[in-house]
Amino acid sequence: MLRLQNIELAYGETSVLNDINLSLNKGEIGCILGPSGCGKTTLLQAIAGFHRQQSGDIYLDDICVASGTVNFSPDQREVGVVFQDFALFPHMTVLENVEYGLHRLSKQTRRKTALENIDRVGLAEFAQAYPNQLSGGQQQRVAIARSVAPNPRLLLLDEPFSSLDPELREKVAVEVRDIIKRLGITALLVTHDQQEAFAFADKIGIFAQGHCQQWASPYDLYHEPNTPFVANFIGESTFISGEVVTDPEYASRYYVNSQLGRFALPLEQNYTEGQKLSVLVRPDDITHQDDSPLKALVVDRRFRGAHILYRLALPNFSEQVLCLAPSHHDHHIGESFGIRLSIEHVICFDAQ
Amino acid sequence: MQRWLVASTVTLSAIVLLPLAVVASSVLSIDVDLWEHLFSTVFSDYVSNSLLLALGVGLGTIVIGSSLAYLMVNFDFVGKSILSWLILLPLAMPAYIIAYTYTGLLDFAGPVQILLRETFGWSRGDYWFWDIRSLSGAIIMMVLVLYPYVYILARTAFAEQSYSYQKVSELAGYTRWQHALKVSLPLARPAIITGATLAMMEALADYGTVAYFGISTFTTGIFRTWFGMGNIQGAAQLSTVLCMFVLVLLVLEKHSRRDASKFQSREHAGAQRQRLKGPVAMGVFLLCLLPAVFGFIIPFLQLLSWSVQYASVGDLSDFLGLVKNSFLLAFAGALIIVALALLVSYAKRITGKRSLKYSEQMLSLGYAVPGIVIAVGVLIVTGWADKAFNRFTLEWFDYRPGLILSGTIATLIFAYAIRFASVALQNTETGFARLPQKLDYAALSLHGGLFRMFRKIHLPLLSASVISALLLVFVDILKELPATLVLRPFNFNTLAVRAYELASDERLLDAALPAISIVIVGLLPVIFLTRQLNKSSV
């Protein structure tokens, strides 16, 4: 449905996007997640047609809408955009706002389509209201009705929840997701908020410094991060150092030796013996067990209601890991803490 | 301390507002003879001329001001930064001065007509030439110096429109011009109307231009009724009618301001400016330059050349006397008025009393009242006070001191306070609003005393607001004409009065030096304003 190939974009000398490749299937919701300044909004604007990429192709429904030779104008691309500030026209009613994008239709169809779309977001009774009479969440839904009314091929959402109160954000995000899924619209969301991305998206692209680090499902991002950046960015993580070794009994297999023991490395990758690695350890990779022979020292603790997140120093004190333990296992700083490993498959990166 | 603060502030505000109340109360005793006379003769002229003048100025300033603002916000072109300075310059040019300058240029004996006659060999009566001394002339003169009122507000309104609005239109396939018509202009409409109402109030308040052009409007009528017929009550009643018109504008202005605040978007990411190149850019630049050329550059150069001519033949000591008078008057007035404004704003902040909020609001309306109306009110009040005082001293001390208030500098400053307290208040109010309330709590808990807090905490923090208030009031007083003309002490002349009188006597050359002095001093706040505006929106 949406396919980006080798997108490069720069403002003058400063490169903003480098070699971006990603694709979305029909009805899927994608998300571009990254810290501010990573180029995510620029990518959205390139897809919408507000910026022209220097090279690379953008396909919508297998039609090339932007490449070296083709450049569709924003309205020819048939995308809808929900803006960060919603950009509802304050001098128009909800109905007039939604009708604004339907000016090519005849008058009756225009009204009918607009009313249908207002109804679909559950605001039928507010059709004659002005935006400033609506709550933030309602304005958000008007913005969505306005952008989906022309029946776009793709809906782009630019930080659509950031102007809402934090308490509202997740609730509205779920509501909006339901609306989009119900309408069967393909959508791409841009955000810097992980919770929002996880609540919203089928596929997430992690952006940093103009590169797409990984384009995958939320599950894969957490459990199989491609780069240390992704591992750090998604969820809490620590790294411990390790060294590649071989086992004479299994010649084809490589292992990594670390303070926490030896783990088998994935078969599909190439290693050399003695290579230094960083081993990713998630808080849920470490299970607390009072009678475990493997002991660590509690360095810090964060109470989180149902759980306590412990920061633990490993026996040689030079490395630390995190452990999420049930709340009733109450240990104090300086206490000894029994741990057990439950790493199902190990994630390693080259040591830096 | 608090009670003292409230009492003195309310009393002072009441005294300042007394003349307006007196003018308003004049309708209670209608002078039937006068009104019969007025209705059968000039009243319909007053109404139609004043209305046409206000409407013409409103329309003209809207067209020029908002198109300039639109072009400046939405396009980038060579010379734009120079333009952002030039466009506001006409603000420094009082309408009566530009009026007499253009009269000198366009009169039968002026350079333009001489040039026409010489080129085409015409003589008197051979050709038709537009008479600048007409209603259309007055409208054009005022539009030329008042369009910045609309421009300033419209420019901010356009610049504050969210960047996303333009994209919504782009996505829907509207062109830039369709977007301007459907979204940009409607959104800026309240701001544009606010600016136009301010310009129209100025037009209704104008005395110098219409008097010089010999047009019968309310202001000249009020002047004539008092000066010519000696009927001060009649003048007050005419003033009330004029104030009704102003009131309509005032309501419209307040209403538009409310609308404008509703239309503000939450994100102030300015619009995406389109870069213009080549002949188009040149054309837009020249188009935007026109108002400044006609509203400032041409009249300024003309005044300059007259001043240079005058300096070689004229009497400069006379001029220096005028400068001294004007500056001292304006400075004293500015100090007193800003002190009043500080007192009102401070008292309101400290006590939060409703009576003080009303005082502040009432005082803030002074800008809307025409100077001639204020003059009439002040005349009545001071005359009455003088009479009462003389009666009192005669009865108790068998002594008549004569006029103590009427025709003094104090009276003049009293009138200025009514008209310009709003200017000072605007600055002190925004200044105080920027200081968080916590500051007061901290100051009071550390070291009590309201006066000490004001002196040690507020005044230093407010210095920028106070200086800008002083500057604005100073320049406004320097430019003020009708009230000064009516209320000034005998034989006391200011730059504005002298420029007007000399011009009225057709001594244009002699009038140039005082006139250009006013313009040059008037440039100071314009520079101030331009810098502020450039910082905030472009």
Could you give the dihedral angle defined by the CA atoms of residues B186, B527, B295 and B503, in that order, rounded to the nearest 10 degrees? 130
The pLDDT value recorded for residue A154 is 93
Q: What is the per-residue pLDDT for B327?
A: 93
Alpha helices in B398-408 (DSSP H): none
Distance of CA A145 to the CA centre of its chain: 24
Residue-wise pLDDT tens digits, B320-349: 888 999 999 999 999 999 999 999 898 888
Give the closest of B172, B182, B189 to A75, CB-based: B172
pLDDT at residue A254, rounded to an integer? 85
For residue B398, the 8-state DSSP code is S
Which pTM value belongs to this model? 0.82
Question: Alpha-carbon distance A75 to A89, whole Å?
Answer: 18
Task: Give A-chain residues touching B165 at CB under 8 angstroms.
Answer: 87, 89
pLDDT at residue A160 tops 70: yes
Max mean pLDDT among A15-19, A88-92, B53-57, B418-422 falls in: B53-57
Tell me the average pLDDT across A111-129. 92
Chain B, 184 to 213: residues with Cβ < 8 Å from chain A are 186-187, 189
Task: Find the chain A residues whose C-beta atoms sit closer than 8 A to any C-beta of B.
Answer: 48-50, 73-76, 79-81, 83-87, 89-91, 100-101, 103-104, 132, 146-147, 150, 163
Q: What is the mean pLDDT of residues B488-499?
A: 90
Chain A contact set for B192 (CB, 8 A) = none
Which H, E and C letters describe chain A, residue by residue? CEEEEEEEEEECCEEEEEEEEEEECCCCEEEEECCCCCCHHHHHHHHHCCCCCCEEEEEECCEEEECCCCECCHHHHCEEEECCCCCCCCCCCHHHHHHHCCCCCCHHHHHHHHHHHHHHCCCHHHCCCCHHHCCHHHHHHHHHHHHHCCCCCEEEEECCCCCCCHHHHHHHHHHHHHHHHHHCCCEEEEECCHHHHHHHCCEEEEEECCEEEEEECHHHHHHCCCCHHHHHHCCCCEEEEEEEEEECCEEEEEEEEECCEEEECCCCCCCCCCCEEEEEECHHHEEECCCCCCEEEEEEEEEECCEEEEEEECCCCCCEEEEEEECCCCCCCCCEEEEEECCCCCCEEECC
B447 touches chain A (CB under 8 A): no
Q: Which residues in chain B are contacts of A89 at CB distance < 8 A?
A: 165, 168, 183, 187
CB of B176 less than 8 A from some CB of A: no
Question: For B253-286, what is each residue's pLDDT tens digit?
Answer: 888 888 877 776 655 555 568 888 889 999 999 9
Interface residue of A47, A72, A89 to substitute, partner B, most B CBs within 10 Å:
A89
Note whether ipTM > 0.90 here. no
Q: Are B173 and A79 an interchain contact pair (Cβ–Cβ within 8 Å)?
A: no
- Which of A49-53, A336-340, B192-196 has maximum average pLDDT? B192-196
Say whether B266 and A48 touch across the interface (CB within 8 A): no
Average pLDDT of chain A is: 88
**Strand pairing class (A286-288; A336-341):** antiparallel
**pLDDT value, residue B264:** 66
The per-residue pLDDT of chain B, averaged, comes to 87
**How far is the alpha carbon of A90 from chain B, nearest alpha carbon, in Å?**
6
Residue B537 has what pLDDT?
Answer: 55
Average pLDDT over residues B514-518: 92
Q: Which two tokens stand for residue A251?
A: 């010649």
Whether residue B165 and residue A101 make contact (CB cut-off 8 A), yes or no, is no
pLDDT in tens, B450-485: 777 888 888 888 888 898 899 989 999 999 999 998
Distance from the Cα of A86 to chain B's closest Cα (Å) equals 8
Partners of B172 on chain A (C-beta within 8 Å) are 75, 100-101, 103, 150
Whether residues A101 and B262 touch (CB distance < 8 A) is answered with: no
On whether any CB of chain A is under 8 Å from the CB of B456, the answer is no
A133: nearest CA in chain B?
Answer: B262
In a mutational test of the B interface, the residue from A71, A85, A132 whose CB has the highest number of chain B CBs within 10 Å is A85
Helix, strand, or coil (residue B275): strand
With an 8 Å Cβ cutoff, is B44 touching chain A? no
Across the interface, whether the CB atoms of B173 and A80 are under 8 A apart is answered: no
pLDDT confidence of residue B202 = 92
pLDDT digits (tens, 9 = 90+) for B167-187: 889 888 898 889 999 999 998
Q: Please report which confidence band the pLDDT of residue A186 belongs to, taking 50, 70 and 90 as the band edges.
A: very high
Reported confidence tier of residue B140, pLDDT bands at 50, 70, 90 = very high
Distance in angstroms (rounded) separating the CA atoms of residues B420 and B472:
9
How confident is the model at residue A35, as a pLDDT? 86
Mean pLDDT of B502-527: 89
CA closest to B161 among chain A residues? A87
**Cβ-defined contact of A83 to B164 (cutoff 8 Å):** yes
Q: Which of B168, B187, B267 to mutate to test the interface with A (most CBs of A within 10 A)?
A: B168
User: Is the pLDDT assigned to residue B538 strictly greater than 80?
Assistant: no
Residue B20 has pLDDT above 70, yes or no: yes
Decide if A83 and B167 are in contact by the 8 Å CB cutoff.
Answer: yes
Cα-to-chain-centroid distance, residue B49? 20
Asked if the model's pLDDT at residue A261 lies above 60, the reply is yes
Note the pLDDT of residue B271.
57
Q: Tell me whether residue B264 is exposed, middle or buried, using C-beta atoms within 10 angstroms of its C-beta: 0 to 12, 13 to 18, 19 or more.
A: middle
- Specify the pLDDT at position A195: 83
Contact criterion met (CB < 8 Å) for A103 and B174: yes
Write out pLDDT tens, residues B236-251: 888 888 888 889 998 9
User: Which amino acid is it at A220?
Assistant: D
Q: Which of residues 242-271 of B touch A (CB under 8 A)?
A: 262-263, 265-267, 269
Measured in angstroms, the CA of B426 and the nearest CA of chain A are apart by 28
